[in-house]
Amino acid sequence: MKISLRAGERIYINGAVLRVDRKVSVELVNDVMFLLEGQVMQASDATTALRQLYFIVQLMLMNPTDVVAAAALYGEHHAALLAVCESREMLDGLAAIDELVKTTRYFDALKRIRALFPVEEAILADLARANAEIPFEAA
């Protein structure tokens, strides 16, 4: 796989952070886990349940030598999402994500989670509209 990076851009490879000082192309010739800087979610951006799941899986990818704690957190968070989701698309996506995580295909799991962001946004928007329609009764 060939990756092009701009000057100052970072790439996370097997837990190592690399920053290039000039435009460069890198060819990854073996199987590695990596994230480009633009795919990295900051903790402050993990504002929804699905984004929090993304952040947890991202931790698993970025720190492959210490996956145990993140894997336990992933298991709890994934189970909580399954318990509250009613959307078939979301449930199917969560099942696919779990299979990817179980086989340590974290990058693919992150892609699958990102694909569900619009579904989650629609669900949250529907909930907000429904809550706005409930009249407030003063006690």
- Residue written as token pair 């886990």: 33
Same domain (yes/no): 20, 75: no
Report residue 19 as tokens. 């920053």
Specify the number of domains making up the chain: 2
> How many Å apart are CA 128 and CA 121, to the nearest integer?
10
**Tens-digit pLDDT profile for residues 57-69:** 999 988 877 889 9
Same domain (yes/no): 56, 6: no
Same domain (yes/no): 23, 47: no
Q: Taking a C-beta distance cutoff of 8 angstroms, is the pair 35, 10 a contact?
A: no
How large is the angle between the packed helices 88-102 and 106-133, nearest 10 degrees? 150
Same domain (yes/no): 99, 129: yes
pLDDT reported for residue 37:
80
pLDDT reported for residue 71:
94
Report residue 116 as tokens. 């569900």
Rank 25-34, 41-50, 122-131 by mean pLDDT and report only the highest. 41-50
Same domain (yes/no): 115, 51: yes
**Tens-digit pLDDT profile for residues 94-139:** 999 999 999 999 999 999 999 999 999 999 888 888 888 776 665 5
Report residue 89 as tokens. 């698309």
> How many Å apart are CA 14 and CA 93, to the nearest integer?
25
34: pLDDT strictly greater than 90: no
pTM of the model: 0.81
- For residue 90, what are the domain limits? 41-139
12: pLDDT strictly greater than 70: yes
31: pLDDT strictly greater than 80: no
